[in-house]
Structure 1
Amino acid sequence: MAHFQKWISTFWSFCISYINFINQNVNPRAGFVPLHRNSEYLTGRVFFSMAPAKVDSSKKGDPKAQALKTAKAVKSGPTFKKKAKKIRTSVTFHRPKTLKKDRNPKYPRISAPPRNKLDHYQILKFPLTTESAMKKIEDNNTLVFIVDLRADKKKIKDAVKKMYDIQAKKVNTLIRPDGTKKAYVRLTPDYDALDVANKIGII
């Protein structure tokens, strides 16, 4: 019986000391805060989250007042930059000189206008009279010319029209192994390549 009473008193004193320990180390907002810095590894850290306070909708401010408050916060914030004031170093104002006159030279800087070096005489160097070229004239209604390297298809087409007064349907070009450019000028059905070749003097 004495042993049981001793056990009861020991247990009761342990309960009282534990309750005192809890009361000393519990923060109602943060929860349980252990005394020892490493005691969270032994006992575990306990947190008690409180429900957020309800905001009464009737207490909300005027929208205009809220807008003014927000605008004031934006203006006073770090992102708002005021325009720097221009520093004036003179006491007089001057109208800017905006008059722009057209050029009126005393004499021409270039004595003669530049000549077009790639004219139709330069573009069409000479017609080809090889066997394959003759076959093209007879079978495909196509004339074959050696042309300038800088000439493109449109320039070749225009040069043929200007030189021989004939209309080309399409132009194909290639660079030969000797470095010259060859042009195949296909004529429209209105013109006969054989007649044009006779007129030019190829045949």
Structure 2
Amino acid sequence: MIHVEQQWADNIRTYEGDLLHRKADNPALRETRGKIIISRAMPLISRKLGITGTADVVEFHAAEEDDPPDCIASLTGRRGKWKPYPVEYKRGKPKVDDCDEVQLCAQAMCLEEMLGVKIGAGSLFYGQQERRQEVLFTEDLRCGVIDYLDEMRSCFNSGITPAGKYNKACKSCSLHNICLPKLRKGSVSRYMDSFLEGE
């Protein structure tokens, strides 16, 4: 709906998400905590995947002696070698599907191309739980990124928004009144009947 139909709406959940991201998305805030450099709102690009984006946070951990050479990178203006570790901030709690893991893995794949390294893991920080959940970037997850990108490009190029799949999460979505997921789920007459019965 956002990219094909150019539709957007805010609600309390999108505002809460904005507040959670406010610190993470400030590129002027750079921190060094011991052996970790924290970079915020880092621009990402992958020519191979054909995507761009912004990582909420990328931590650069000082490399250890036993780290594989293909997992560490040099940073401009910094001595030593560093291991990139992406962290994505989410307002709620872990989802039943893998969409958050796929997003984080796509960020890692961009970083790998940009820095010429291999990244094995990253983290999702869920605001509702106030803790991190580590994600391993397996081959299956990497294939999932490519599959999702292919599917998204197909939808975008067709100019047709895929039909929504109504579930209980739809009620809290900021696009609920634009998407009308119950209408997309069934026929117009069934939707109108249920609407009239509700009155």
Per the normalisation by structure 1, the TM-score is: 0.17
| More strand, by proportion | 2
Q: Give the number of the structure with larger relative contact order, counting CA–CA contacts within 8 Å between residues 6 or more apart.
A: 2
Question: Rg: which structure is higher?
Answer: 1
